[in-house]
C-alpha cells in the first residue's frame, strides 16, 4: 500500500511571517520544504538573465519547463539553489519580486509550475509556503494555515529584511509596492490569494517570531498527534 506523504500548507501575503514559520516547522519535523514563491522568483531571474520578454507567456513557458530548483535548510536558514548556484539573496530584490508577481498571472505558466511543485511532495512530509498552496497546489493537505498581518507591520518587516541585505528602501514606496502586490494577488483570476475553507486563520501582527512558532507548533502537534 502506497502512503501519500502528508503536507502542511501555509499561505499568506508577503511579510506575514510564513517563510520564517515554514523553515522552523520543516526543521523541527525534519520534513521537506517548498517555497512556491521562490520558484516564481527563480523563473523571473532566469527570464531576466536570458533577456526574455516577461510579457511573452510562450517564451516564459519554455524556461519553466526546464527549471531546476531545490531548497536546502541550513541551521534554520533556507538556501535556494538554481542551476547548482545559491541565488537566495539574488531573488529577494524588489525587481525580481515585481517581475515574479507579474508572470504569476499567466495561466499556462501556473499550470506547468503546479506540476513542478508536486514533485517536492516526498516522505516523511512536506511544508509548503505560498499564496495558493492550500487552495490549489495541495488541496488535500492535512493541515492548512492562512497567516496574515497588518499591511503596516508587513512593510516594516520587509524593510528590516532589505536593510540586512544592505538595501535602503523608502517606506512610502515599499508600502505602495506591497499594496499593489496585494491587489494583484487577491484579485487575479486564477488561484487568488484566499484562505482555504478549512484553513486556520492566524494574525501575526502582534506576535514575536518565537511566539508565532510556538503557537503553530502546538497546533500542529495536536493535529498530527506527534
* Numbered residues of the known binding site for ATP: 12-20
**Coil vs helix vs strand at 3:** coil
Q: Which helix (H) or strand (E) holds 101?
A: helix 94-103
With the C-alpha atoms ordered 177, 201, 70, 114, is the resulting torsion angle positive or negative?
Answer: negative
Rounded CA separation 37/78 (Å): 13
> H/E element holding 100?
helix 94-103
**Residues annotated within a binding site:** 12-20
CB 213 within 8 A of CB 21: yes
Query: At 144, is the secondary structure helix, strand, or coil?
Result: strand
Longest C-alpha distance within the chain, in Å?
56
Burial pattern 130-155, b for ≥16 Cβ within 10 A else e, equals: bbbbbbbbbeebebbbbbbbeeebbb
Asked if 123 and 7 count as a contact pair (C-beta separation under 8 A), the reply is no
Amino acid at each position: 500500500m502506497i502512503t501519500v506523504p502528508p503536507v502542511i500548507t501555509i499561505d499568506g501575503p508577503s511579510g506575514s511571517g510564513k517563510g520564517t514559520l515554514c523553515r522552523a516547522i520543516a526543521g523541527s519535523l525534519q520534513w521537506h520544504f517548498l517555497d512556491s514563491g521562490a520558484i516564481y522568483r527563480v523563473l523571473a531571474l532566469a527570464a531576466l538573465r536570458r533577456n526574455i520578454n516577461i510579457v511573452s507567456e510562450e517564451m516564459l513557458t519554455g524556461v519553466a519547463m526546464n527549471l531546476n530548483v531545490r531548497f536546502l535548510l541550513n541551521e534554520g536558514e533556507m538556501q535556494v539553489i538554481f542551476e547548482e548556484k545559491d541565488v537566495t539573496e539574488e531573488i529577494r530584490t524588489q525587481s525580481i519580486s515585481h517581475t515574479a508577481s507579474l508572470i504569476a498571472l499567466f495561466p499556462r505558466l501556473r499550470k506547468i509550475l503546479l506540476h513542478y511543485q508536486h514533485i517536492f511532495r516526498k516522505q516523511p512530509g512536506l511544508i509548503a509556503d505560498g499564496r495558493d498552496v492550500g487552495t490549489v497546489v495541495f488541496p488535500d493537505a492535512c493541515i492548512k494555515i492562512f497567516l496574515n498581518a497588518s499591511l503596516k507591520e508587513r512593510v516594516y518587516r520587509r524593510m528590516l529584511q532589505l536593510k540586512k541585505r544592505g538595501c535602503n528602501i523608502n517606506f512610502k514606496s515599499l508600502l505602495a509596492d506591497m499594496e499593489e502586490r496585494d491587489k494583484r494577488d487577491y484579485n487575479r483570476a486564477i488561484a487568488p490569494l484566499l484562505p482555504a475553507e478549512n484553513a486556520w486563520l492566524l494574525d501575526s501582527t502582534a506576535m514575536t517570531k518565537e511566539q508565532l512558532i510556538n503557537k503553530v507548533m502546538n497546533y500542529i502537534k495536536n493535529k498530527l498527534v506527534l
